[in-house]
Amino acid sequence: MARHDPLTGIANRLLWRERIEQTITAAGTDTLAALLYIDLDGFKGVNDAFGHYAGDVVLQQVASRLLECVADADAVARIGGDEFVVIQEQVVDRYAVEGLARCLVEQLSRPFELNKAPVRLGGCIGIALFPNDGRNADELLQAADMALYQAKAEGPGIYRFFSADQGDRTKQRLERKRALHHALAAGQLELHYQPIYDLRSGQLRSFEALLRWRHPTDGLVSPADFIPLAEETGLIVPIGNWVLSEACRQLARWPSGISVGVNLSPLQFRGRELVDAVRRAVDHAGVDVSRLELEITESVLLRNDRENLELLRDLRGLGARVAMDDFGTGYSSLSYLRSFPFDKIKLDRSFVSDLATSTEARAILHAVRSLGAAFRVRTTAEGIETPEQLAVVREEGYDEGQGYLLGRPQHPDDAFALAHSMGSAGPTGLFHELGCGVPTSPEAYPRLANTCASGNPNTRD
């Protein structure tokens, strides 16, 4: 009992440790052995959405599927929440390990049965080999963990062997984590602002504030790289508060018709601090709170828990607007639309970028716009990079557009200049300039004028 996991019946961490030490002793220094470290994809989502009982059922099914791939039952162990390991003894070469890894990945990629409904999860695997990657249980587990990290970055459903430069990358990650602690105080964080335009009038509507880290030696670091670190360390809360106050400070410098969008992390929804932070930021800058738009992803509502919903209502009670960001990428975006009266839907940029190659992307684009109309929610298309994409989203009737074609995220000074120049550029604003408004100038912008001229006449200026 003490050496088995009560939920799944397979070996627990204790028995696993005994086993791997036996394996190492028996292997000597020339025979290979492998440690395969498995982590489920999306398990947290199952727990959050369907409850812990459902999570338990999945874990039991996982254990019995892993056993399908190995001859020796004690070689499979559960060593953490959704973390499993498999020990492979007397390995002849890497190909033998790959065979096992493929079997495990395939087992996990089949849908799981939950209340008769299929749920797809999948898993990633990190592999460490004895004696090359580690000489004892801890070293092997650490190496397998680094390989797993790599697999998950490439995932889902990927296995990866440990390699020495993975070790270097892990060190860099730890280094970054440490440096991030000082970044805020040292003034290394910046906000850049990406313009968002009204697709009918061509006028500048708002800017989205996007965080950048000017690392002293590595240069500008993208938020995709350091926001996960900030979330792991809890630093996202002070950083998020700074973003709010800095964005509002800039907002005060722009003409009153222009708003600012600020991204919020789900972690900022723990506790009540967020409402105060928003109020403080707005009051301190002396701006009208209705010019502040808070962008959240569905992960904030994933638990659909009452506290987060209440907090959202309070934020809206203050007068701020709330937008659902990256719409369509999660697996229950639609149901979240019902749970809260969003002011805006921002369709994820993947649908716009797939427009040229996928007819489904166009259908989704159209459907989301119709949803927006039915719910009376404004719609923004993200990631517009080409004149063709601009023409399609205008034709579909999207209210607003954002993307590299219309403007990249820019330094606050440039955003300031743009905000003030657009005001005087007249109602057709950018599209006039691009040749999309009236009058067009085919000589200057032949490709664009062509595209714009072929658009739906109802959506043209």
Give the nearest distance from C-beta 208 to ligand C2E in angstroms. 6
What is the maximum alpha-carbon separation in the chain?
82
| CA–CA dist 75, 53 (Å, integer) | 26
Q: CB nearest ligand C2E: which residue?
A: 403
Q: How many residues bind Mg ion (CB under 5 A)?
A: 4
For ligand C2E, the binding residue among 385, 388, 414, 433 (CB under 6 A) is: 385
Torsions phi, psi of 258, nearest 5?
A: -105, 135
Task: Please answer whether residues 397 and 406 qualify as being in contact, where contact means their C-beta atoms are separated by less than 8 angstroms.
Answer: no
Task: Please answer whether residues 223 and 183 qualify as being in contact, where contact means their C-beta atoms are separated by less than 8 angstroms.
Answer: no
For Mg ion, the binding residue among 295, 396, 399, 400 (CB under 5 A) is: 295
Segment lying near ligand C2E (by CB under 6 A), choices 126-134, 145-153, 156-164, 217-225 = 217-225
For ligand C2E, the binding residue among 46, 105, 211, 419 (CB under 6 A) is: 211
- Residue 392 within binding range of ligand C2E, rule CB under 6 A: no
Pairing of strands 378-381, 159-161: unpaired
- Residue 210 within binding range of ligand C2E, rule CB under 6 A: yes
291 binds, among Mg ion, ligand C2E, none (CB under 5 to 8 A by kind): none
Give the nearest distance from C-beta 318 to ligand C2E in angstroms. 19
Give the nearest distance from C-beta 33 to ligand C2E in angstroms. 41
- Residue 265 within binding range of ligand C2E, rule CB under 6 A: yes
- Residue 194 within binding range of ligand C2E, rule CB under 6 A: yes
278 binds, among ligand C2E, Mg ion, none (CB under 5 to 8 A by kind): none
Segment lying near Mg ion (by CB under 5 A), choices 105-113, 248-256, 295-303, 422-430 = 295-303
The answer, yes or no, to whether the previous bond of 131 is cis (omega within 30 of 0) is yes
Kind and range of the H or E element at 263? strand 259-263
Which residues lie below 8 Å from residue 101, measured CB to CB, with a gap of 6+?
36, 125, 127, 159
Q: How many helices (H) and strands (E) does the chain have?
A: 17, 16
For the record, the structure tokens of 343 come out as 């002011």
Chain-centroid distance, C-alpha 293: 19
Q: Which is nearer to Mg ion, 102 or 408 (CB)?
A: 408
| CA–CA dist 383, 402 (Å, integer) | 6
| CA–CA dist 408, 402 (Å, integer) | 9
Q: Which is nearer to ligand C2E, 69 or 191 (CB)?
A: 191
- Coil, strand, or helix at residue 340? coil
Q: Which is nearer to ligand C2E, 158 or 211 (CB)?
A: 211
Q: Which of residues 254-283 bind Mg ion (CB under 5 A)?
A: 263
Side chain identity at 27, as an amino acid letter? A
Give the nearest distance from C-beta 437 to ligand C2E in angstroms. 21
- Coil, strand, or helix at residue 408? coil
The answer, yes or no, to whether the previous bond of 156 is cis (omega within 30 of 0) is yes
Is 243 exposed, middle or buried, given 0-12, 13-18 or 19+ CB atoms closer than 10 A?
buried
Q: How many residues bind ligand C2E (CB under 6 A)?
A: 23
Give the nearest distance from C-beta 128 to Mg ion in angstroms. 37
Give the nearest distance from C-beta 48 to ligand C2E in angstroms. 19
The residue behind tokens 């664009």 is 448
Segment lying near ligand C2E (by CB under 6 A), choices 91-99, 118-126, 263-271, 393-401 = 263-271
Chain-centroid distance, C-alpha 320: 23
Segment lying near ligand C2E (by CB under 6 A), choices 109-117, 169-177, 198-206, 219-227 = 219-227
Q: Which residues bind Mg ion (CB under 5 A)?
A: 263, 295, 325-326
Q: Which residues bind ligand C2E (CB under 6 A)?
A: 194, 210-211, 222-224, 227, 240, 243, 263-265, 295, 325-326, 349, 383-385, 402-404, 409
